[in-house]
Amino acid sequence: MKNNKLNLLFTAVLALLMFTGCSNKENENKTVTSGSVSFDEVLATRRSVRSYDPSKTITKEEVKELLIATQEAPSWANQQPSKYYVAMSPEKVAAVQELVGERNKQNIAGAPVLIVSTFEKGKSGFFRGEQTNEIGDGWGAYDNGLSNAYFILKARAKGFDTLIMGMRDSDSLRSLFNIPENEVIMAVISLGYRADEPRQPEHRPLDEVVQFF
């Protein structure tokens, strides 16, 4: 009788282990196929990528998903001053490549999407048309930076890579995209897939950039 009970107990434990193993395997497969990553993984793997795989493309719907994410970014009094001009056609992409400097042009060769980021003047940092403090339209640049941060982090979460470029011919970009004069052109952002694994840069020690009181 005792042996029978032990056999039954062993069988039950074995069945439970097998069921748990199958469940874990299913969950593991779901995680892999869903492509979901943690926020910490997004932060740890995002890089300023300067080498893109020209064989891979990005769809308009995928770019829209990233830009929708930027609308979740905070802004001064919810003014939402950021605007985006997206080059996806080969002609427009090639035209923008000529306006970011020779070094950047080489860095972004192969990136299928180039995006010009701007902000509207006189919104963030203003109340009833009056500048609220000494920073003024600098708050527009601040809000645009927040918006761009949401963009590049969402892009990384989706498996894409980016490079934010400050070297650009703003007058020619304004003409190319018919950007209104009341918008400040901030950056050009490349979007694509990394061709190789970029080096992780060193970060300054926390004690050099933070003070606790």
pLDDT of residue 52: 98
pLDDT of residue 146: 98
Q: Residue 45 to residues 39, 122, 152, 199, 209: CA-CA distances in angstroms?
A: 10, 36, 11, 10, 22
Q: pLDDT at residue 84 above 80?
A: yes
Number of Cβ atoms within 10 Å of the Cβ of 21: 10
pLDDT of residue 25: 33
> Hey, what are 206's tokens?
């926390």
Tell me the torsion sign for CA atoms 51, 100, 170, 135: positive
Q: pLDDT at residue 11 above 50?
A: no
Amino acid at 197: E
Confidence bin at 36 (pLDDT 50/70/90) = confident
> Hey, what are 74's tokens?
């905070």
Helix (H) / strand (E) containing 126:
strand 126-127
Q: Residue 77 to residues 143, 176, 186: CA-CA distances in angstroms?
A: 11, 31, 21
pLDDT of residue 35: 57
Confidence bin at 10 (pLDDT 50/70/90) = very low
> Hey, what are 44's tokens?
């740890």
State mean pLDDT over 4-25. Answer: 40
Q: pLDDT at residue 28 above 50?
A: no
